[in-house]
């Protein structure tokens, strides 16, 4: 995370999001990937190796896409709850 906002120079390093971003990412990505995996398995039953080489990269890419958004959401919540 950048120590200061690029636009307004607000100090961001004082907000510690800790594990909330990764936790939120797991919740979001889990609710996207798991239903897809179950749907594909129940309707098409592809080979396990095919599922592994498909779902593992999709999951990793989805996590890499969602994690910065989750982290930003956490930071925005902490920023909105700050002492004014």
Q: Which residues bind Zn ion (CB under 5 A)?
A: 5, 7-8, 10
CB nearer to Zn ion: pick between 8 and 48: 8
Smallest gap from Cβ 84 to Zn ion, in A, equals 15
- Distance, CA of 14 to CA of 31 (rounded, Å): 31
CB nearer to Zn ion: pick between 3 and 31: 3
- Distance, CA of 22 to CA of 50 (rounded, Å): 27
Smallest gap from Cβ 82 to Zn ion, in A, equals 13
Q: Residue 68 has which token pair?
A: 């910065």
Is residue 19 within a helix (H) or strand (E), and if so which, with residue range?
Answer: none
Residue nearest to Zn ion (CB): 5
- Distance, CA of 32 to CA of 10 (rounded, Å): 34
Smallest gap from Cβ 65 to Zn ion, in A, equals 22
């Amino acid at each position: 995370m950048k120590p200061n906002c690029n636009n307004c120079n607000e100090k961001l390093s004082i907000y510690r999001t800790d594990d909330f971003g990764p936790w939120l990412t797991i919740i979001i990505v889990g609710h996207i990937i798991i239903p897809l995996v179950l749907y594909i398995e129940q309707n098409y039953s592809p080979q396990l190796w095919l599922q592994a080489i498909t779902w593992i990269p999709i999951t990793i890419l989805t996590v890499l896409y969602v994690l910065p958004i989750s982290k930003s959401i956490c930071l925005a919540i902490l920023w909105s709850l700050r002492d004014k």
